Amino acid sequence: MGKSDIEFSDFNKVCRTLNAFTKMDVRLIDENGRGILQLVNHIIPASLKNPLNEFEIINETLRNNFPNSYYYHINSYGLEYIASGIWRNNRLYSFILIGPFLSSVPTVDFISGIISVNKLPVSERKQLHEFYESLSVRSGNDFHYIGDLLVNMCAHKPIDSQLITSDILKPALNKKQLQADIAESQDIIELRYSYEKKLMNAIAKGDKDEVARLFQENSDVLNISDRIPESPIRSVKNISLVLNTVCRIAIERGGVHPVYVHTISEKFAILIERAPNLPYLKKLSIVMINEYCDLVKQFSTRQYSPIVKRAIDYINLNLGSSLSLQAMAGEMHVNPSHLSRKFKTETNMSIIDFIHEKRVEEAKLYLQKGNIPITEIALMVGFNDLNYFTRVFKKFTSITPSQYIKSKAFKHGSF
């Protein structure tokens, strides 16, 4: 394609404008499916590899329709996108892609369905849930208006705008007031750092009650919307990002594996930047700290020795794979008998019982859906034999998988 036909640099500003306006990822893709510009906040999890030729399919769909069309695309992972082509002289040169986003809130059932349909590792469920929760949820009207905007912005060469501003009025400097403010700031800073230490200790233990008490007692210390007077929401976003970092460091100290730390930290960083107002940010801070505490309760290995920590992390991250004492010991380069003794001493469970209990808890999430065959669920969570899965399930729950499905269906009024 010749320079005279189209300048892709003209559409850099279009992409940046759309990224700022929609708070979603925006990509400029050429006719060969290559990314010319990618403005992305979301790192797609490794388990959600791009479906084969996805960009080519989008490109071909746009090519076979009118230039003023936009394409609503959804892939097998439930990730939704909006695309519109850049046409000149009836030729499609490239397209702009907005997304991923969702049209409904990602429930546990939704994530379980994605894992089941795409045969994904069940050990990825927590990371996938964090990723899907970080995506924008848009209604049909929302993405219709975004599609309209995208078509119109792609149809013409962008025109540079000119900024006009009013004069900035500078307030008179009051030296006495400035000195008083500095002294007050020093006291507040000391209080905030003291509060931060207490908060980190509570989060590292997963102690929600202590977190709630600290929030209630330190409400004045947390009121910092005036740090950037002309932009209070920016002030609160900045401190929320700091709080996210504090939480991340706290749960890492609390013995949570870096894989889980990274995914939850990334999710909340995106949600904070996308927050529309101050009340939302206030609620988000509480949700964020509680979710970090839950992660400590679920995945902390702080109380264990290094060898047992490594074993538990290995089990959690490979739950759907073949797991055995010999294989784990080989991966960890330790003696199997030594690993088995240490694990039983510190957890009061054998390694095989610990694995079975984790797999049963995971299986419950899929059994609750009621529409996935039990044999398939057994394979997903690491059992190659249905009868063995049934015996293990009954050992930990006192009922069979079939009875568990019926009990959940009855509870939710299906019968």
Beta-carbon contacts of residue 255 (< 8 Å; ≥ 6 apart): 296, 299, 300, 301, 302, 303, 304, 309
- pLDDT tens per residue across span 285-314: 889 999 999 999 989 998 999 999 999 999
Amino acid at 364: K
35 has a pLDDT exceeding 90? no
The per-residue b/e assignment along 224-242, b for 16 or more CB within 10 angstroms, e otherwise, is: ebeeeeeeeeebbbebbee
Cβ-based burial of 357 (10 A; exposed 0-12, middle 13-18, buried ≥19): middle
- pLDDT tens per residue across span 155-175: 887 787 888 887 766 666 666
Nearest to 204 by CA among 252, 245, 242: 252
Distances in Å between the Cα of 111 and the Cα atoms of 132, 202, 389 are 8, 30, 22
Contact between residue 334 and residue 97 where contact means Cβ atoms under 8 Å apart: no
Token output for 393: 């399930």
76 has a pLDDT exceeding 50? yes
**DSSP alpha helices (H): ranges in 134-257?**
140-155, 175-204, 208-217, 232-253
Edge-to-edge strand order for the sheet containing 35-39?
35-39, 26-30, 91-101, 80-88, 70-74
Confidence grade of residue 415 (pLDDT, cut at 50, 70, 90): very low
Confidence grade of residue 1 (pLDDT, cut at 50, 70, 90): very low
Confidence grade of residue 49 (pLDDT, cut at 50, 70, 90): confident
Q: Which domains does the chain have, with CATH numbers?
A: 10-155 (3.30.450), 175-299 (no CATH), 306-411 (1.10.10.60)
Residues of the chain with pLDDT > 90, as a percent, come to 45
- Per-position DSSP letters for 226-246, written without gaps between them: TSSTT-HHHHHHHHHHHHHHH
Q: What is the pLDDT of residue 393?
A: 94
Beta-carbon contacts of residue 36 (< 8 Å; ≥ 6 apart): 8, 28, 29, 30, 94
pTM above 0.75, yes or no: yes
